[in-house]
A and B are shown apart, each in its own frame.
Chain A
Amino acid sequence: MPEAVIAAEGAGKRFLIHHQRATSLKERLLQTRRSQAEEFWALRDIDLRISGGETVGLIGANGSGKSTLLKLLAGILAPSAGSVKVRGRVASLLELGAGFNGELTGRENIYLNASILGLSRREINRNFDSIVEFSGLEQFIDNQVKHYSSGQYVRLGFAIAVHVDPDILLVDEVLAVGDEAFQAKCLAKITEFQERGCTILFVTHALDLVPRLCSRGLVLDHGRVLHDGDALEATERLRSLLGTAADQSGGAGADASSLRIGGLRLVDPAAPSAYKGEFRIGEALLAEVDVQVGPQAPPLAAVRVVVTGPADVPMWVMDAEEVRFEPNTSRTVRFLVKELPPIQGIFALAVALREPDGRALDARRFGEAFRVIGSSEHGLVEVAWSIEGTEEEQGAKSSASRRPRAAGDRGRR
């Protein structure tokens, strides 16, 4: 097992919410009682081991503690409980261009900012041209940064941050800035870091990015880890938590030279030529995943399908490990569900393609993929049940018995 580069043990972060913070000496001195501070644990009991080279997606609702966790790992905040150990040089894309001085030129800010981020002058000299080129600000590099547009500002910040040559990269929602071309550049850079073996921790609200970029997903909820494991499952878990299950086109950013999810068809295995959107409980279902294989596709890949049920809860996971792919072809991977469980409602499917080492290739979600209907319109689950006695006296046996309306006997074969 590779050594953990990030290790948190029982880590917690407590903030004190002072209703009236004693910010002056006078108040401090005159305060006779202890200040009325409310404790708030932004993070609690975080146990986390991340090995070198992993890409971990950190997701959660607003206020779930994602950014606080990143700041703990970045060494900006100190944990109030437990310990956080990080090995290696950390680059954080937390706030790009933090510490830029508007009066200085782009050039001067590159030297200053990179120096703050831990680069030596030699390293900066070596990377200077590359930084400028990446930022695309060649013409403006000797202008004062205060005249930059906010986009230019962030681009320069990003360019410096990615040249820190980190062992660990912390990314917080930075991909939300910049135009599409720049975003694509950022994603490419992140992929490059992955290939170099850099450990990446990635906070985002763009859930479709997570299974595509990450080998592991971490869901935070109210400062605790709710899920730590498969990235696709993590996003489904969070969607169930948020109650959002919007369909996603997905696939757009995936590398076309590699593997891509082309489409998904659901059919009745008995009549595989006709698409089907509605199934009955207990029926069989065949899911056909089309995979387009680009010229540079890896020979082996894993296909994972997560089926999400009506309450936006992941229901079951189907894995096809080590599927062989020939370059420049397309291939269909079929998953047969022999018997649909007695749960009625609308189901979604999320599909992800992975390299055998876990690196994600493509992911796509198909919301409202199919509907399962049972015999009752009420409730979610079809359960065999009966009425056992209507009298109040103890011991009296009931003669009445009920079955689910319409026949439950169709339920199980």
Chain B
Amino acid sequence: MLSAADVRAAAQSRIRWELLANLIRKDLKVKYKNSTLGFLWSLANPLLYLVVFDLVFTQFLRNNVPYFAVMFMSGLLVWNFFNLSTLSATGVVVGSANLVRKVRFPRVVLPLASVGFAGVHFVLQMLVFFVFLLAFYRDFIGPQLVLLVPALVVALLFTTGMALLVSALNVRYRDVEHLLEIVLLAWFWLTPIVYPVSFVQARLVPKHLFWIFMANPMTAVVTSIQRAIYRHPVVVSDGKVVQVLATDGYAFYLKWLGVAGAISLVLLALGTLVFRRMEADFAEEL
């Protein structure tokens, strides 16, 4: 039977949303304290990417994707969420050493707060993105937007699993941090964010290997969001027909989101397991 004391004790060991919210708020406050523009800075990064990539890919390389900016941003923002979450989760336990070594609290809130911190940025960036879409790309309004829901759920699951795994591993193996920086860079280019997925579909030499490309959970997420926001798989531009997205049918996206969701759940289970097992030794390893 649970006594009042047990309930109070549990408050010190289970995840509390309030604590998570406080940690996220702390991260935001610390990051934007003493800066005049504050949160606006977080919009600078995707904006700069947009300008540079737009210049390079539409002007220099002429990839001929109509509304390149819309397609690009659809993938970039969710990628940034994943990227920022993973990178900040890597160092979060090590960075909170004085807390972990001295205070009893559910340590798992640390990587979760990293995800939350990136999540806040993602939501706000998406809001700004939608304002721009309303102004310049009304076409995005339609039933296909529902696809955002499973895509974002999968993105959240996958990112959380990844954050748990790397935050725990990095305590013992500090290489994880360095390794991840490189891996994430390669991962970015192997995910169809800058180039349309149709290019890979059409040009990948052994065609039967396309599934390997799609098995990347971030690809499933990114292509689904592109389908939801960019909307049109085939676009007619300057009299030319350009295939941008893989296909029109939802079945394709739902299938790959299903695969990605399954991978995410496995990763989440693995991350939780690894975190639980390594957590007991955090105070010693730091």
Q: Is the CB of A76 within 8 A of B23?
A: no
A99-B98 in contact given A88-B8, A115-B18 (Cβ < 8 Å): yes
CB proximity of B32 to chain A, nearest CB, Å: 10
CB proximity of B104 to chain A, nearest CB, Å: 4
Q: Is the CB of A23 within 8 A of B173?
A: yes
Mask: chain B, 245-286; 1 = CB below 8 Å from A; 0 = not: 000000000000000000000000000000000001101100
CB proximity of A107 to chain B, nearest CB, Å: 11
Stretch at the interface among A116-124, A250-258, A302-310, A366-374: A116-124
Which B residues are CB-close (under 8 A) to A362? none
Besides the contacts A75-B12, A115-B19, A120-B11, what 7 more A-B pairs have beta carbons closer than 8 Å? A23-B174, A25-B173, A76-B102, A115-B16, A116-B99, A118-B105, A167-B5
Q: Is the CB of A24 within 8 A of B98?
A: no
A115-B175 in contact given A87-B5, A89-B8 (Cβ < 8 Å): no
Q: Is the CB of B280 within 8 A of A99?
A: no
Mask: chain B, 143-175; 1 = CB below 8 Å from A; 0 = not: 000000000000000000000000000001111
Which A residues are CB-close (under 8 A) to B284? 15, 77
CB proximity of B100 to chain A, nearest CB, Å: 8
**B22 in the interface (beta carbon within 8 A):** yes
Which B residues are CB-close (under 8 A) to A112? 22-23, 26
**A378 in the interface (beta carbon within 8 A):** no
Alpha-carbon separation in the docked complex, A398 to B172 (Å): 74
**A413 in the interface (beta carbon within 8 A):** no
Tell me the interface secondary structure of chain A in the complex.
loop
Quick one: closest A residue to B171, CB to CB? A23
Q: Is the CB of A87 within 8 A of B103?
A: no
Quick one: closest B residue to A24, CB to CB? B175
Alpha-carbon separation in the docked complex, A88 to B12 (Å): 10
Alpha-carbon separation in the docked complex, A180 to B205 (Å): 79
Q: Is the CB of B11 within 8 A of A118?
A: yes
Mask: chain B, 1-45; 1 = CB below 8 Å from A; 0 = not: 001011011011100101100110010011001000000000000
CB proximity of A5 to chain B, nearest CB, Å: 8
Q: Is the CB of A77 within 8 A of B12?
A: no
Q: How large is the interface on B (under 10, 10 to 19, 20 to 34, 35 or more residues)?
A: 35 or more
A78-B26 in contact given A24-B173, A28-B173, A98-B98 (Cβ < 8 Å): no
CB proximity of B114 to chain A, nearest CB, Å: 15
Which B residues are CB-close (under 8 A) to A117? 12, 103, 105
Q: Is the CB of B175 within 8 A of A118?
A: no
Residues of A within 8 A of B (CB): 5, 15, 23-26, 28, 71, 74-78, 86-90, 92, 94-95, 98-99, 101, 103-104, 108, 111-112, 115-121, 167
Quick one: closest A residue to B31, CB to CB? A103
CB proximity of A115 to chain B, nearest CB, Å: 4
Q: Is the CB of B12 within 8 A of A118?
A: yes
Which A residues are CB-close (under 8 A) to B98? 95, 98-99
Alpha-carbon separation in the docked complex, A167 to B284 (Å): 26
Q: Is the CB of A108 within 8 A of B173?
A: no
Alpha-carbon separation in the docked complex, A35 to B16 (Å): 39
Q: Is the CB of A90 within 8 A of B174?
A: no
Alpha-carbon separation in the docked complex, A226 to B9 (Å): 30
Q: Is the CB of A98 within 8 A of B12?
A: no
Q: Is the CB of A76 within 8 A of B8?
A: no
A76-B5 in contact given A89-B11, A101-B26, A118-B11 (Cβ < 8 Å): no
Q: Is the CB of B175 within 8 A of A25?
A: yes
Alpha-carbon separation in the docked complex, A117 to B22 (Å): 12
CB proximity of A343 to chain B, nearest CB, Å: 46
**B51 in the interface (beta carbon within 8 A):** no
Alpha-carbon separation in the docked complex, A108 to B96 (Å): 17
Q: Is the CB of A99 within 8 A of B99?
A: yes
Which B residues are CB-close (under 8 A) to A89? 5, 8-9, 11-12
Alpha-carbon separation in the docked complex, A115 to B18 (Å): 8
Quick one: closest A residue to B12, CB to CB? A118
Quick one: closest A residue to B26, CB to CB? A112
CB proximity of B280 to chain A, nearest CB, Å: 4
Q: Is the CB of A103 within 8 A of B30?
A: yes
CB proximity of A124 to chain B, nearest CB, Å: 10
Residue in B16, B22, B104, B280 whose Cβ sees the most chain A Cβ within 10 Å: B104
Q: Is the CB of B174 within 8 A of A92?
A: no
Alpha-carbon separation in the docked complex, A87 to B5 (Å): 7
CB proximity of B10 to chain A, nearest CB, Å: 9
**B179 in the interface (beta carbon within 8 A):** yes
Alpha-carbon separation in the docked complex, A76 to B19 (Å): 18
Q: Is the CB of B12 within 8 A of A76?
A: no
Alpha-carbon separation in the docked complex, A267 to B12 (Å): 57
Which A residues are CB-close (under 8 A) to B5? 5, 87-89, 167
CB proximity of B207 to chain A, nearest CB, Å: 36
